[in-house]
Structure 1
C-alpha cells in the first residue's frame, strides 16, 4: 500500500501533538521519521511510531522536555535531553554542534537522558546542509553480544558520517555496528520471513534464522558475525559508539541502556540517565577551501562509480546513493506500508482520535 508523503507526515504530526508535543516538536519528530521512510529505511520510519507511544504511556518519554546544556566549552557541550524524544533532542544537539563549528571550526556534543533518535543520517546531514562534515551516533537497546559471548551487552549502535560534495549528492555512510539492525528483524517478523544466517544467535550461541529469536534469549551478532569474519571489528566499533554516546555524556551504557523494544524492561540500578548520543560537525574550510574539497569529492565519487566490476550488470554503489534513489521515487509515487504497519497506525488513530490513513 502506497501513502503520499504529505498524508503520512500530517498523520504522524497529529499523533505527536496528541501525545502532548508542541506543534514545532511534532513537526520535527515527524520530519525525522518521514525522512527515514523516504530514504527507504522502513525499519526506522513510521513503523516505529507505536514504539514511541508505548514508551510515552509508560512514562519514559517526556513530550515537553527542557533540553539544556549542562557542561560546555567553546567547541564542546553536553546536553541533557530531559527524557525527551530522541527525534527532537538529537536535532537540537546537532544544531548546537553546527553553531559551534560555524564559530570555531568544529563542534562536538554528547547527549544524555534521551531516547531513540531515529536514523543517524538525518542528524549528520544537518551539517552537510551547512557545507560541513557531519557525524552522528547513538547507543541503543542491549541486543548484541560481543565476540565470543552470548550475553546481550551492546546495542546495534549506529554511526553515520556525511560528507558534502559538489555536483554529486553527499556521501552518507549510515550503518549499524551489528550484523543487522533490529529493525530489519522487525520487518522480517511482519513479513513472516526468515533472516540470513549470521545475523542472530540463540541463547546457546548457535546461529539461527528465526527473526523472533531475541524474544527467547537470543542476541544479535556484531558486524562480521564471528571472529573468523571480523566480528571483533564490529565489536570495537560498537564499543566506540557506546563509550562516546554513553560513558562520555553520563547516559547509560552497555546492558543498562533503556530498551526501545517491548520485550525488554529497563534494568535496575542504571549508572546514568537515559540513552546517549554523540554528534559532531566540522567546517571543511577549516582545512581547505570548500570549492576545492567538493571538486575533489566529485572526482572521488566519479572514479569509484566508474570502477570495473566483477559482474558487468552491477556497479559500485556510493554510500547514500540507494537512499537518495528511494527518496526520489517515494516523493513521486508514495511511501509503501506493509499491511501490519498500516493497521497499527490506524489503531493509533483510533486511540488518539485523529483521522485515519
Structure 2
C-alpha cells in the first residue's frame, strides 16, 4: 500500500489531537514521525503510533506537558519534559541548544522525564539549518546486553551527528549503538522473516535468527556483535549515550529505563525520571568561516564518493545518502505501508474515533 505524505500527515496529526495534544504539539510530533517514514526509516515512523497511544492510555505520556528548564548556565541546560512526547520535548531542547549556540558558540542540553523521541536525525538537522553542527542522542528501553553478558542493561541508544555542506546535502551519521535497532526486528516480525546472525542472542547467550527472541528472554547485541568483532566498542558507545542522556540529566539509566511497550511496567525503584536525551549545537563560524567549511565538506564528500569501489556496481555511500534518496522518492511517489502497519493504524483510528487512512 502507498499513501501520500499529505494524507498520512493529516491522519497522524488527528491521532495526536485525539490524544489531547495541542495543535502545535500534534503538528510537531507528526513532523518528526513523517520525516522517519519519508527517509525510509520505517521502524521509527507511523508504525510507532500505536505504541505512543498505548503509553498515553497507561498515563505514561502527558499530552499537555509543561516543559521547562530546571538548571542552566550560558552554554548548558537541563530540561524536564514533564512526561511529554519525546517527539515534542527533544525539539524544544534542541531549540534551547541552538539559541545558546547563537549567543555563545555552542549549546548543550540534557533532558530528563521524556519519552521516545523518534529519529535522532530530526533533532540534529535543526542545527544544520542554522549552519551549525548538530548532535542528538537518547537512551532507551533495556534490550541490549553488554559484552560478555546475557542480561538486558542498555537500550539501542542511538546517536546522530549532522554536518552542513555546500552543494551537497548534509552529512548525517545517525545510528543505533546496537548491532541492529529493535525496529528492524519488528519489521522482520511483520514480514515473517528471520534476521541476520549477530543481531540478537537467546536467553542463554547463543546467536539466534529468530526476530521474536526478545519475547522469550533474549537480548540484542551491541554494535560489533561479539568481543572478537568489536562489541566492546559498541558497548562503550552505548554507555556514553546512556551517561550523557540520563546520568547527566537525572533520567533513568541502564536497566531502569522505562519500557516503550505499554504491557511492561516501569521499574518500581526508578533511579530518575522518564528517559533521557542529550542534544547539542555548535556554530561552524566559531571555528572558521562557514563558506570555507562548506567548501571543504563538499570536497570531502566528493572525494569519498569517488573512492575506488571493490565492486564497480556498488559505489561508496556517504552517511545519510540512502535516506535522502528515499525522501526524494517518497515525497514524489508516496510512502509505502506494509499491511500490518496499515491495519494497526486503521484499528487505532476506530478506537479514537478518527477518520481512517485514505490511500491514493
- The TM tier, using the shorter chain, reads over 0.9
- The 2-side partners of 1:143 and 1:310 are apart by 35
State the partner residue of 1:200.
Answer: 200
State the partner residue of 1:38.
Answer: 38
- The 1-side partners of 2:261 and 2:337 are apart by 20
1:14-53 aligned at under 5 Å gives the runs 14-53=14-53
Q: Tell whether the 8 Å contact from 1:173 to 1:320 is kept in structure 2 after alignment.
A: yes
Whether 1:246 aligns to 2:246 is yes
- The 2-side partners of 1:132 and 1:343 are apart by 40
State the partner residue of 1:291.
Answer: 291
Q: Is the partner of 1:302 in helix, strand or coil?
A: helix
State the partner residue of 2:77.
Answer: 77
| 1:165-192 deviation line (CA, Å, top 9, x unaligned) | 0000000000000000000000000110
State the partner residue of 2:88.
Answer: 88
Q: Tell whether the 8 Å contact from 1:140 to 1:257 is kept in structure 2 after alignment.
A: yes
Q: Is the partner of 2:356 in helix, strand or coil?
A: coil
State the partner residue of 1:317.
Answer: 317
- The 1-side partners of 2:11 and 2:66 are apart by 25
- The 2-side partners of 1:214 and 1:149 are apart by 15
Q: How high is the TM-score relative to the length of structure 1?
A: 0.99
Q: Tell whether the 8 Å contact from 1:215 to 1:263 is kept in structure 2 after alignment.
A: no
Whether 1:300 aligns to 2:300 is yes
Structure 1: 5+ residue runs without aligned partners?
Answer: none
| 1:55-89 deviation line (CA, Å, top 9, x unaligned) | 00001000000000000000000000000000000
Please state how far the C-alpha of 1:244 moved relative to its aligned partner: 0.1
Please state how far the C-alpha of 1:268 moved relative to its aligned partner: 1.6
State the partner residue of 1:105.
Answer: 105
Whether 1:215 aligns to 2:215 is yes
Report the CA distance shift for 1:217/1:263 in structure 2 as closer, same or farther (over 3 A): farther
- The 2-side partners of 1:85 and 1:215 are apart by 25
Q: Tell whether the 8 Å contact from 1:145 to 1:222 is kept in structure 2 after alignment.
A: yes
Q: Tell whether the 8 Å contact from 1:200 to 1:207 is kept in structure 2 after alignment.
A: yes
State the partner residue of 1:12.
Answer: 12
1:110-149 aligned at under 5 Å gives the runs 110-149=110-149
Q: Is the partner of 1:112 in helix, strand or coil?
A: strand
Please state how far the C-alpha of 1:261 moved relative to its aligned partner: 2.8
Q: How high is the TM-score relative to the length of structure 2?
A: 0.99
Aligned residues: 357
- The 2-side partners of 1:267 and 1:200 are apart by 24
Moved over 3 A (4+): none
- The 2-side partners of 1:131 and 1:259 are apart by 36
Structure 2: 5+ residue runs without aligned partners?
Answer: none
| 1:214-268 deviation line (CA, Å, top 9, x unaligned) | 0110000000000000000000000000000010000000000011134532112
RMSD: 0.6
